[in-house]
Structure 1
Amino acid sequence: MSVLFIRIIGDNMSARLFVFVGHPRSTSLSHGLADAYQRGAEAEGAEVRRMNLSDMQFDPDLTEGYHARKTLEPCLEEWRDTLSWANHTCWAYAQWWGGMPAKMKGVIDRCFLPGYAMKYHEDDPFWDRLLSGRKADVLMTADAPVWFDRLSNGRAAKLQVQKPVLHFAGIKPARILQVGPVKTASDATIAKWLKKAEARGAQAARRAS
């Protein structure tokens, strides 16, 4: 009985990480950062499940908003099931025009629905955060230095994913690792970024266990 009890506790405390690459192209630095992150997490004993946006086929348009529900395509069902299974998630993608790529935003629009990500109250303006208890890392690439993004845009892409998406649904803290400029980065600089991503994955595995 005691051995079974210990095994159950151990299973409940294991690190379960969902790595989602939100770059619509099948090869990118986002994939490389995700590879490094996954490598670091698995080295610490985490169980990792991964999905790549480039492999997903679905309608990204929430045509009727919340007035009429579309049936989720199998890949979106899998995405939600995997996020529900995880106690930590990592999203890796490129910042495009101050936000996430359109197809990636389509995943959020289609999946983060009332009853799954949040539940609005009928008698007040507040809501229940239905994905609470999870943490997140975001690995974001950009063609501008972070300091320029901060001065010029107030780091709009960081705020987009951190506040009205992840925190809104209860996923926090959400740590952001933003790297750039990518277009002028040397091999040595990219290697440093990959090392940072691997370290984040190892940290996530320890924090989630």
Structure 2
Amino acid sequence: MSQVSKRIVVINGHPSDTSFNHALAHNYVEHVKTLGVHVDLIEIAKLDFEPNLKYGYEKRMDLEPDLMNALEKIQAADHLVWFFPVWWGGLPAIAKGFIDRLFLPNLVFSYRENSNRVIGHLQSKSARLITTLDQPGWFYRWYYGEPSTRQLKKATLQFCGVSKVKVNYVGTVRGASSDQRQKWLNQIGKYAEKDCQRISS
């Protein structure tokens, strides 16, 4: 497969580079590289930016160079892949700050003139969310209503025009054996293969 015109951007929302999320994200990236598809990696915690949208929407904060670079990668991508852990039911603060600062009006969406209706600017893209849990994915979905992935899928990505968003849970991570972790890493490779096939078809 050599569809170099297709692009995937992987966004790692875990703040630690020794985390299992980090290993999963890098494993995905390496698999994509072997399939001939261009892939960019955004390590949110390594970006130099102010994660606090300190003026709300009253005053626009200039995007730092790292955020501008991240925006360009997202805009150029055909497929977005997010990795993050579920903490207190939601996303890590640094990942939420990245979204708050970057997913802004006239950047990834805009409002129709004299209307509250939205035009998403990411309409040609698809996405996959891969998140780690200290509980089974079915329990997070059934008991808690999967707030982190529902928020990112529906209120962020689909709001901005991304129509096809797949969600995958990795858990229970706490106390998992090395064999189990390797199985998850292998599964990530299969996701990478499926994503490359889908965007290249």
> What band does the TM-score fall into relative to the shorter chain?
over 0.9
Gaps of 5+ in 1: 1-10
CA apart distance, 1:171: 1.6
Could you tell me which residue of structure 1 aligns to residue 128 of structure 2?
137
Could you tell me which residue of structure 1 aligns to residue 143 of structure 2?
152
Secondary structure (helix, strand or coil) at the match of 2:159 reads helix
CA apart distance, 1:139: 1.2
CA apart distance, 1:190: 0.9
Distance (Å, rounded) in 1 between the aligned partners of 2:190 and 2:3: 24
Per-residue deviation, residues 107-151 of structure 1 (Å, max 9, x unmatched): 110001100111012333311011110111111001111122123
CA apart distance, 1:12: 8.5
CA apart distance, 1:170: 1.0
Instruction: Name which one, 1 or 2, has greater alpha-carbon Rg.
Output: 1
Distance (Å, rounded) in 2 between the aligned partners of 1:203 and 1:43: 13
The alignment status of 1:57 with 2:52, answered yes or no, reads no
What amino acid does structure 2 have at the position aligned with 1:88? H
CA apart distance, 1:166: 0.9
Secondary structure (helix, strand or coil) at the match of 1:84 reads helix
Match of 2:103 among 90, 107, 112: 112
What amino acid does structure 2 have at the position aligned with 1:197? I
Could you tell me which residue of structure 1 aligns to residue 164 of structure 2?
173
Contact 2:3 2:37 in 1 (8 A): no
What amino acid does structure 2 have at the position aligned with 1:49? D
What's the Cα RMSD here? 1.6
CA apart distance, 1:54: 2.4
CA apart distance, 1:27: 1.7
Per-residue deviation, residues 150-199 of structure 1 (Å, max 9, x unmatched): 23211111201110011111123111111111112111111111111111
Match of 2:14 among 23, 32, 42: 23
How many percent identity over aligned positions? 34
Could you tell me which residue of structure 1 aligns to residue 178 of structure 2?
187
The alignment status of 1:90 with 2:81, answered yes or no, reads yes
- Structure ranking higher on relative contact order (CA contacts 8 Å, 6+ apart): 1
Could you tell me which residue of structure 1 aligns to residue 115 of structure 2?
124
Structure having the higher helix fraction is 1
Secondary structure (helix, strand or coil) at the match of 1:14 reads coil
Distance (Å, rounded) in 1 between the aligned partners of 2:105 and 2:114: 16
Distance (Å, rounded) in 2 between the aligned partners of 1:112 and 1:124: 19
Could you tell me which residue of structure 2 aligns to residue 8 of structure 1?
none
Distance (Å, rounded) in 2 between the aligned partners of 1:107 and 1:58: 8
The alignment status of 1:200 with 2:191, answered yes or no, reads yes
CA apart distance, 1:13: 7.3
Could you tell me which residue of structure 2 aligns to residue 69 of structure 1?
60
Distance (Å, rounded) in 1 between the aligned partners of 2:3 and 2:179: 40
What amino acid does structure 1 have at the position aligned with 2:11? F
Instruction: Report the number of matched residues.
Output: 199
Per-residue deviation, residues 40-92 of structure 1 (Å, max 9, x unmatched): 22222111111212211211111122221111111111110110111111111
Gaps of 5+ in 2: none
CA apart distance, 1:33: 1.0
